[in-house]
């Protein structure tokens, strides 16, 4: 839609953000990317780019003013690091989101409507009681990272009630090219890297824990679709973005070994504290809207 010509992407140098920038440019959009370059994925950034931090409220105000749609992907997304640096995690993930929301509300009051697409995470569900997981499932975050996403979601919903057009997307485990292997949540690139070096994949616990893995192109399509979708029913409520299919970590490791024609076998280690044992998305809401 022509009214959604100018796009701001926070976290533009990251795994998902860099692919989103490329997708938006292919659609002919005018894109400004923001990233602090702490953890770039290594891809070339072809859009207009500002190096900066989402905690800088003045910078966020300046960039949001120029945008019709804001994709807010910037986050401290390392679950393990969030236990070591919980305050920084909240400062970035909650404080940065507040800055984006306040800027969107400010310009809405001045007559310039903005649409905000907020990238949340399936980590907000924690230990689940049902399979698959619908958006109405109680939230039970198991890490400071997950708790920060719950709080950021709550703020998005509050600002939606106040008139800001906010779409909250709960992304399930996304994988694909450009994904870094230094976050234990990025299990596919971790396993692939291990096997390519002739090392066995290491699995915490017995490997029975499952995840709903979504290829980056599918995540990208969802982001692009909800960025232009009309209708107020998409605002102010979380939407699961996944495949609706899960696989155990043990089966995943063995599949990668098989595809690599490797004789290696997984190594099983002590289970992680607060390990989430099952995550599979109920995607009926997204299908109904899309």
pLDDT of residue 118: 99
Per-residue pLDDT of the chain (290 residues; tens, 9 = 90+): 446 899 999 999 999 999 999 999 999 999 999 999 987 776 778 899 999 999 999 999 999 999 999 999 999 999 989 999 999 999 999 999 999 999 999 999 999 989 999 999 999 999 999 999 999 999 999 999 999 999 999 999 999 999 999 999 999 999 999 898 877 779 999 999 999 999 999 999 999 999 999 999 999 999 999 998 877 778 999 999 999 999 999 999 999 999 999 999 999 999 988 889 999 999 999 999 97
pLDDT of residue 230: 74
Active site residue ranges:
145
pLDDT of residue 1: 42
Positive or negative torsion for Cα 101, 103, 108, 112 = negative
HEC string of 222-263? HHHHHHHCCCHHHCCCEEEECCCCCEEHHHHHHHHHHHCCCC
The Cα 89–Cα 95 span in angstroms is: 9
pLDDT of residue 232: 74
The Cα 123–Cα 144 span in angstroms is: 10
Tokens of 95: 């404080």
CATH tag, 2-174+214-242+282-289: 3.40.50.720
Tokens of 113: 């409507």
Q: Of 227, 93, 248, 241, nearest to 172 (Cα)?
A: 241
The Cα 161–Cα 236 span in angstroms is: 7
Domain edges within the chain: 2-174+214-242+282-289
């Amino acid at each position: 839609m022509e009214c959604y010509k100018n796009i701001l992407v926070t976290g533009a140098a990251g795994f998902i953000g860099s692919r989103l920038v490329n997708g938006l440019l292919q659609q002919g959009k005018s894109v400004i990317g923001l990233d602090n370059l702490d953890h770039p994925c290594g891809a070339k950034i072809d859009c207009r780019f500002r190096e900066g931090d989402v905690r800088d409220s003045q910078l966020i105000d300046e960039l949001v003013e120029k945008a019709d749609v804001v994709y807010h992907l910037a986050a401290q997304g390392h679950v393990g690091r969030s236990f070591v640096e919980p305050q920084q995690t909240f400062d970035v993930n909650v404080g940065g989101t507040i800055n984006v929301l306040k800027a969107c509300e400010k310009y809405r009051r001045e007559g310039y409507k903005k649409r905000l697409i907020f990238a949340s995470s399936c980590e907000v569900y924690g230990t689940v009681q049902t399979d698959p997981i619908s958006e109405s499932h109680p939230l039970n975050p198991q890490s400071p990272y997950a708790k920060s996403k719950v709080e950021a979601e709550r703020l998005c919903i509050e600002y939606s009630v106040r008139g800001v057009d906010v779409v909250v997307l709960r992304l399930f485990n996304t994988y694909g090219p450009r994904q870094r292997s230094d976050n234990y949540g990025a299990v596919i690139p971790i396993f692939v890297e291990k096997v390519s070096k002739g090392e066995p994949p290491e699995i915490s616990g017995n490997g029975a824990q499952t995840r709903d893995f979504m290829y980056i192109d599918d995540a990208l399509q969802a982001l692009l679709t909800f960025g232009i979708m009309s209708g107020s029913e998409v605002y102010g409520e979380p939407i699961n973005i996944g495949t609706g299919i899960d696989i155990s970590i043990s089966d995943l490791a063995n599949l990668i070994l098989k595809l690599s024609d490797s004789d290696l076998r997984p190594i099983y280690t002590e289970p992680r504290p607060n390990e989430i044992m099952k995550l599979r998305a109920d995607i009926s809401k997204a299908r109904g809207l899309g």
